[in-house]
């Protein structure tokens, strides 16, 4: 019996521009194409969790505008249950995404809008939802005090806690100590530990540093090299799956964390859950968009065989 997954995070409308390169200051260049779609790490992770078969709930704040309608429609279609307040005096978050047309790599500016005003009191208003979860997930796009309060409530209720420390920001040891698992990518692991993550050995050292600072386990995503699952008793590298040409890596980390949460909520072991997340993320990079690229349960199961 799968348990509830509660995700505290941010929705933003992604405005994605594909171009040969980024413009220099003062310069205007012509892009190859434009796409508008749902994004935000918290929302993407909730969509990834739900499409992977999880009972996903999102706690966040929106404005009362066109992009809020996009958020609610996105969650309805994906099967995510919103626990959301709407603030008419603010706006729904939006993001500028530059996509390199040759490599598919991206560079992003996020304006979180109403979700940027999430407070510990907003989180406490959802305490019952949080306490009834099997897995709680958050990131660092909303204010840190709200994330910390939610981690405290979840931890006190015995809920498994996952922090995807993105975008990178300094963290207190006390915050890491509230996390059963952290899921940084290579650059976020480096920002948190000061260890440049280039080799697998570097990743293992960074994971040890995160555990020494209080995290229960570190699951470091390594792009095309897959993921390193590292806790006090094991260090296992799971390769990415070769599904097809890489189209766009936006949301790859979110696909991983979302699907990983679904597998954990089903009671799977850490390594098995990471393999499931890795399969979902490997599919997501072969498609354009962030939320739109999240695979279904049937697609993930078919890849895992």
Q: Is 106 in the site for ligand ADP (CB under 6 A)?
A: no
For residue 175, the minimal CB distance to ligand ADP (Å) is 19
> Site for ligand ADP (CB under 6 A): which residue of 3, 116, 143, 223?
223
Q: Is 263 in the site for ligand ADP (CB under 6 A)?
A: no
Q: Is 163 in the site for ligand ADP (CB under 6 A)?
A: no
Q: Is 182 in the site for ligand ADP (CB under 6 A)?
A: no
Residues 50, 128: Cα–Cα separation, whole Å: 20
Q: Is 281 in the site for ligand ADP (CB under 6 A)?
A: yes
Q: Quick check: helix, strand or coil at residue 216?
A: coil
Q: Which residues contact 146 (CB under 8 A, 6 or more apart)?
A: 8, 118, 119, 120, 122, 123
Q: Which residues contact 67 (CB under 8 A, 6 or more apart)?
A: 11, 12, 13, 91, 92, 93, 94
Residues 22, 56: Cα–Cα separation, whole Å: 36
Select the span of 79-87, 203-211, 246-254, 261-269 touching ligand ADP (CB under 6 A): 246-254
Residue 82 or residue 226: which is nearer to ligand ADP going by CB? 226
- Alpha-carbon dihedral angle through residues 46, 51, 54, 60, given to the nearest 10 degrees: 20
In the annotation, is 254 catalytic? Answer: yes
Interface positions, 27-86, toward ligand ADP (CB under 6 A): none
Residues 126, 130: Cα–Cα separation, whole Å: 6
Q: Quick check: helix, strand or coil at residue 237?
A: strand
Cβ pair 75, 103 in contact under 8 A = no
> Site for ligand ADP (CB under 6 A): which residue of 246, 263, 265, 291?
246
Among candidate residues 124, 112, 117, 9, the one with its CA nearest the CA of residue 59 = 9
Report residue 121 as tokens. Answer: 């009191």
For residue 186, the minimal CB distance to ligand ADP (Å) is 6
Q: Is 276 in the site for ligand ADP (CB under 6 A)?
A: no
Token pair 């979302």 in the structure block, residue: 258
Select the span of 61-69, 75-83, 194-202, 222-230 touching ligand ADP (CB under 6 A): 222-230
Q: Is 282 in the site for ligand ADP (CB under 6 A)?
A: yes
Among candidate residues 191, 59, 188, 190, the one with its CA nearest the CA of residue 131 = 59
For residue 223, the minimal CB distance to ligand ADP (Å) is 4
Residue showing the smallest CB distance to ligand ADP in the complex: 253
Select the span of 93-101, 173-181, 248-256, 263-271 touching ligand ADP (CB under 6 A): 248-256
Q: Is 227 in the site for ligand ADP (CB under 6 A)?
A: yes
Q: Which residues bind to ligand ADP, rule: CB under 6 A?
A: 185, 221-224, 226-227, 240, 246, 249, 252-253, 256, 278, 281-282, 285
- Residues serving a catalytic function are 254
């Amino acid at each position: 019996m799968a348990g509830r997954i509660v995700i505290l995070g941010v929705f933003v409308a992604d405005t994605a521009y594909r171009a040969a390169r980024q413009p220099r200051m003062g310069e205007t260049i012509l892009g190859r194409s434009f796409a508008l779609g749902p994004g935000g790490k918290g929302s993407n992770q909730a969509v990834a969790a739900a499409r992977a078969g999880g009972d996903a709930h999102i706690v966040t704040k929106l404005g009362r505008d066109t992009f809020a309608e996009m958020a609610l429609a996105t969650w309805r279609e994906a099967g995510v249950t919103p626990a959301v307040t709407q603030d008419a005096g603010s706006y729904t978050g939006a993001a500028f995404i530059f996509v390199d047309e040759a490599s598919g790599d991206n560079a992003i500016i996020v304006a979180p809008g109403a979700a940027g005003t999430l407070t510990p009191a907003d989180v406490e208003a959802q305490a019952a939802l949080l306490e009834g979860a099997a897995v709680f997930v958050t990131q660092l796009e909303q204010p840190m005090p709200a994330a910390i309060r939610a981690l405290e409530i979840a931890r006190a209720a015995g809920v498994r806690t996952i922090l995807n420390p993105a975008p990178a920001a300094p963290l207190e040891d006390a915050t890491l100590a509230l996390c059963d698992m952290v899921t940084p990518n290579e650059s976020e692991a480096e920002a948190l530990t000061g260890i440049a993550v280039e080799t697998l050995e570097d990743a293992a050292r960074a994971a040890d540093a995160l555990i020494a600072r209080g995290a229960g386990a570190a699951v470091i995503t390594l792009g095309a090299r897959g993921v390193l699952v590292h806790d006090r008793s094991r260090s296992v590298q799971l390769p990415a799956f070769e599904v097809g040409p890489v189209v766009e890596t936006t949301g790859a980390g979110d696909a991983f964390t979302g699907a990983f949460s679904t597998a954990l909520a089903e009671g799977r072991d850490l390594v098995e859950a990471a393999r499931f997340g890795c399969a979902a993320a490997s599919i997501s990079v072969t498609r354009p968009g962030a939320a739109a690229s999240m695979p279904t349960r049937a697609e993930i199961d078919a890849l895992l065989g």
